[in-house]
Amino acid sequence: MSTRARAKTTTVASWNVNGLRAAATKGFPEWLAGTSADVVCLQEVRALPSQLPESLVNPPGWHARFAPAERKGYSGVATLSRRAPEVATVGLGIPDFDVEGRLLTTRHGALTVVNGYFPNGNGKERDNSRIPYKLDFYRAVFDALAPAFERGEPIVVVGDFNTAHRPIDLARPKTNEQTSGFTAEEREELDRWLRAGWVDSFRTLCAEPDRYTWWSARFGVREKNVGWRIDYALLSPGAARHLVDATIEASVLGSDHCPITVTLDRAVLSSEVP
C-alpha cells in the first residue's frame, strides 16, 4: 500500500507471539519497526511488564498497554498504538477470566479495538475439558460488546480465537473433528457471532484455501503448510462498512503463529453511529 493510501486508512495488526521475550530474539523488533499498522495487538505475551526489557515495555514510537496473567509465563496480551488510546480497559470484570490476562480493550477515536486471547479447549491431558471454559469466555466477550454493537459503533475484535471456523480453515479437517479448535460446538459459537452480524474480515475478501495463521512446531509442518486459520479480525457492521483490506502475513516467522492485519478507511476513527 502506498504512503498516500496509508494516509487515508488505519490498520490494526494482531500476532500471537508465543512469548514476547522469545519473539524479541526472532525478529519481532524488526517486524514492528517495519509494520505500517497503527495498532498492534499481541497475544500470549507470557511475561509481566516488569520482566521485559525497556525496549519492549516502551518501544520507540509506540504507546504500550499490558494485560498480563497472574500466573507468570502464561497467557497475557498487550496492545501497542502509535497514538495513546483515549481509553484502555483490562479484562471483562470477571475474575475467572481476568486472572488469565486474556482481554484488553482500547479506544481510538470512534473505533474500539478488542485484543483477545481466546482459551484453548484442551485440558492438561489434551482431553477437551477446557471447552466449556473457552465457550463461556466467547459468550462473555460477545455479551460485553453487545450494547456498543447494537448501537452501531465500529468495533474490531482481533486475536487468537483458537478455533478454525470451517473446513477451508485447516489443512486436515476430517482428522480433527474431535480436536479442540474444530469441534462442532466451538465452530457453532463462531457461527453464532456471524449470524448476529459480526463479519470475518479476511473471508469477506478472500475465499482461497490453504491460508493459515498457525502451524504446529513439529519439524516440516510449516514448510508443508499443514496449518490452521485460528487468528481473526471480526468486525461489527459499524466497522465492516469501512473495510479496505485484510491480510495474513504467512511469511513472517518468529512464532508458531503469523501476524494478520485488517485495514479500514480512516473515516472509521470519526465514524458516527447511523
Average pLDDT, the chain: 96
Q: Which of 155, 163, 156 is nearest to 138 (CA)?
A: 163
What integer is the mean pLDDT of 22-27?
97
Close Cβ partners of 154 (under 8 Å, ≥ 6 residues apart):
110, 111, 112, 235, 236, 238, 239, 242, 264, 268, 271
Catalytic residues: 160
The share of the chain scoring above pLDDT 90, in percent, equals: 94
User: What tens digit of pLDDT does each residue of 43-68 get?
Assistant: 999 999 999 999 999 999 999 999 99
CATH of domain 3-268: 3.60.10.10
Domain boundaries, given as residue ranges, for the chain: 3-268
Q: How confident is the model at residue 223 (pLDDT cuts 50, 70, 90)?
A: very high
Q: What is the pTM of this model?
A: 0.96
What integer is the mean pLDDT of 232-239?
98
Strand partners, 107: 87, 112
Q: How confident is the model at residue 272 (pLDDT cuts 50, 70, 90)?
A: confident
Strands 227-228 and 260-265 come out as: unpaired
